[in-house]
Structure 1
Amino acid sequence: MPSFRPIRISAVVPETADAFSLVLDTDLDYQPGQYLTVRTPAGARCYSLSSAPGIDAAPTVTVKRVPGGQVSNWICDNVKAGDVLEMAGPAGTFTPDSLDDELLLLAAGSGITPIMGIVKSLRRQPALVYANRDIDAVIFRDTLDRMLPVNHWLDSERGVPTADSLRDVLIPYTGREAFVCGPEAFVAVAEKALQLAGVPAARIRVERFEIEPVDSPESVAEVTIDGQTHVLPWTPGKRLLDVIIDAGLNPPYSCRQGQCGACAVRLLSGEVTLVNNEILEEEDFADGYTLACQALPVTEHVSVTYY
């Protein structure tokens, strides 16, 4: 079991609309790329250190809000300077063997958090590819752009990265060791792209961010598809797309990761929460759209329609 200790939060720094850095009032012996386990009244989660030892004045963890995620939402909504949280660590092996190496770094979304600590620590400038939904979602944008040339991959401009499209970006750096961090879907694409570009598997280091679990009640889904309405039992923890497919229906979908929007449905009544969303904007939600592949029920009855 990890050994927890109380740590005071000296500052809370907003990074984007849904990401915050917690500056810690403590001495910490850690390596760039490691993480701390943070315990809250809502549960415990691991959050990477975005600071660099010996460079930043204080250790810092960065937390991005996950829709429906109990711990991340509790932290983003409640933690303020002066608060004390229990933390354990540091831990993790997502750290460079040498700070003198030229590295290739790939990150998506909050996957930039451990990468940021590595970027600050390296003595030679790395190559960085950083994928996000749009420019407003880029964590540490100004700081990163001051430090090095960043290849920003914005889904809003270039589409969701594929192994083939990402490979072309990586080819100039195939002689370097690669560090990859982000959601499972991005990591899988990045690993494939690196292999296609000729980077040996032994030279690829990976840190996968697990999707924060969310609670959901037992519910009923009323689904209108192809002009017919079906009433389907919706068991806790199951996503709407799986409920529909398991009922023998044939809904549209593609990535199943909340990145492409192919599974979008219009919410007629009830409420859902999304495990992950990298495609829908506020205006889409205002129009009633949600993602079947990421939707979990909040209410006991949910009604949706496929156009």
Structure 2
Amino acid sequence: MARDHGFHPVRITRIVDETPDTRTFALDAPFPYRAGQFLTFKVCGTLRSYSMSSSPDTDGELCVTVKRVPGGLVSGWLHTHLRPGDTLEATRPGGSFCLRTDAVERPLVGYAGGSGITPVFSLVKSALATTPRSVSLLTAHQSSGSAIFREALDALAARHPGRLRLHDHLDDRDGLVGAEEIRALADRDADHYICGPEPFMALVESTLTAAGTPAERIFVERFTPAPFKETPADAVPAPSEETSADAVPGTVTVDLRGQRRTVPQRVGETLLQSARRAGFTPPFSCESGDCATCMARLTDGEAKMRVNNALDADEIAEGYVLTCQAEPTTAEVTVIYED
């Protein structure tokens, strides 16, 4: 059975100021989850995904940590308006940036830039609590005042002497992170988990690859939010007109909220784009294959995903696809969005 990607009310139980621009929100959300996963929230008519900073193996509450982005619609609203007792709408946890169950003896190396420490912190806590793995962690922040979870990480290292090695990088002290600093941690036998700003992640990934680290041992968490506008329930957008230049033989049939519509296929168009062209407002968030908000099930035909960082093998076997990444490979395709 597919994961439930509907929205559910979650209540904020407490708020912790981690740094001047970063807050942790503890939630009364009795969802089972894995370390490294995230929740997708619906706020101000917009969807945003935030990773859990808590660990299901060490923490008695589910927490997400949000850094306020200058000019950010959602992060600014969360910081300004939310108080303990308030309620948000969130999906159940999703994401595949998780510990591999077949690697409990393998060293783990984490690379976290800025707020990218959030899911990596969750992974580190679970790895130390549930496996004998040694853990190395490179954290990169602009200054000591912006270092998220600094005291908590120091306390964790004190509880696990010899197993958790911390490498703290501060831009105002050390300059920008360089390849040499990354190569010092490039253990080919380890699993490497990377999260942070895109330039930071690109540098770490390319440096590890150049050092001979197998691609299957490099795990990267990316979020590229796309705009989302809430549409009233009774509003039905008009399907767009077809043009002969980009139409190809075949159709895409979309079933969403009890309505079914069919449009001709177009060259290079994803199922999500076809659903929009049919006049629907389907669910989506990242549009990069990471969050599974756009997940739907193929009941007829086949489609190939460009990127899949969210669905597991069982879900794919059951016919589920990320519609933001799936292109039809057969003439007739039917996709159903399940509530």
| SS of the residue 1:61 aligns to | strand
- Name 1:130's counterpart in structure 2: 139
| SS of the residue 1:27 aligns to | coil
Kindly state the Cα deviation for residue 209 of structure 1 after the two structures are TM-superposed: 3.4
For residues 153 and 211 of structure 1, the distance between their equivalents in structure 2, rounded to whole angstroms, comes to: 27
- Pick from 201, 210, 213: which aligns with 1:199? 213
For residues 142 and 40 of structure 2, the distance between their equivalents in structure 1, rounded to whole angstroms, comes to: 27
- Name 2:69's counterpart in structure 1: 66
Tell me the amino acid that sits aligned with residue 92 of structure 2.
G
Tell me the amino acid that sits aligned with residue 41 of structure 1.
C
Determine whether 1:24 maps to 2:27. yes
Contact 1:15 1:139 in 2 (8 A): yes
Q: TM-score, normalised by structure 2?
A: 0.59
1:48-100 Cα distance to aligned partner (Å, 9 max, x none): 00111132111111110001110000001111100000001200000011372
Determine whether 1:147 maps to 2:152. no
| SS of the residue 2:167 aligns to | strand
For residues 197 and 146 of structure 1, the distance between their equivalents in structure 2, rounded to whole angstroms, comes to: 32
- Name 1:287's counterpart in structure 2: none
- Pick from 141, 145, 166: which aligns with 2:181? 166
- Name 1:186's counterpart in structure 2: 200
Identity %, equivalent residues: 39
For residues 155 and 210 of structure 2, the distance between their equivalents in structure 1, rounded to whole angstroms, comes to: 31
Kindly state the Cα deviation for residue 211 of structure 1 after the two structures are TM-superposed: 6.3
Determine whether 1:106 maps to 2:119. no
Tell me the amino acid that sits aligned with residue 196 of structure 1.
A
State how 1:210-289 maps to structure 2 within 5 Å.
210=224
State how 1:31-110 maps to structure 2 within 5 Å.
31-41=34-44, 43-98=46-101, 100=104, 101-110=106-115
Contact 1:131 1:152 in 2 (8 A): yes
Contact 2:9 2:87 in 1 (8 A): yes
1:255-303 Cα distance to aligned partner (Å, 9 max, x none): xxxxxxxxxxxxxxxxxxxxxxxxxxxxxxxxxxxxxxxxxxxxxxxxx
For residues 66 and 191 of structure 1, the distance between their equivalents in structure 2, rounded to whole angstroms, comes to: 24
Contact 1:36 1:49 in 2 (8 A): yes
RMSD of equivalent CA atoms: 1.9
Contact 1:167 1:196 in 2 (8 A): no
Contact 1:8 1:84 in 2 (8 A): yes
1:144-196 Cα distance to aligned partner (Å, 9 max, x none): 1121231011111221123x33333224x332011111111111001012123
- Name 2:16's counterpart in structure 1: 13
Unaligned 5+ runs, structure 1: 214-307
Contact 1:170 1:197 in 2 (8 A): no
Tell me the amino acid that sits aligned with residue 185 of structure 2.
L
Tell me the amino acid that sits aligned with residue 53 of structure 1.
P
Q: TM-score, normalised by structure 1?
A: 0.65
For residues 224 and 22 of structure 2, the distance between their equivalents in structure 1, rounded to whole angstroms, comes to: 17
| SS of the residue 1:145 aligns to | helix
Kindly state the Cα deviation for residue 42 of structure 1 after the two structures are TM-superposed: 5.7
Tell me the amino acid that sits aligned with residue 9 of structure 1.
I
- Name 1:209's counterpart in structure 2: 223
| SS of the residue 2:180 aligns to | helix
Residues 183/7 of structure 1: CA separation in 2 closer, same or farther (3 Å cut): same
Kindly state the Cα deviation for residue 212 of structure 1 after the two structures are TM-superposed: 7.8
Unaligned 5+ runs, structure 2: 158-164, 228-339
For residues 49 and 117 of structure 1, the distance between their equivalents in structure 2, rounded to whole angstroms, comes to: 7
Contact 1:166 1:190 in 2 (8 A): no
Mean CA deviation greater in 147-156 or 4-13:
147-156
For residues 225 and 147 of structure 2, the distance between their equivalents in structure 1, rounded to whole angstroms, comes to: 19
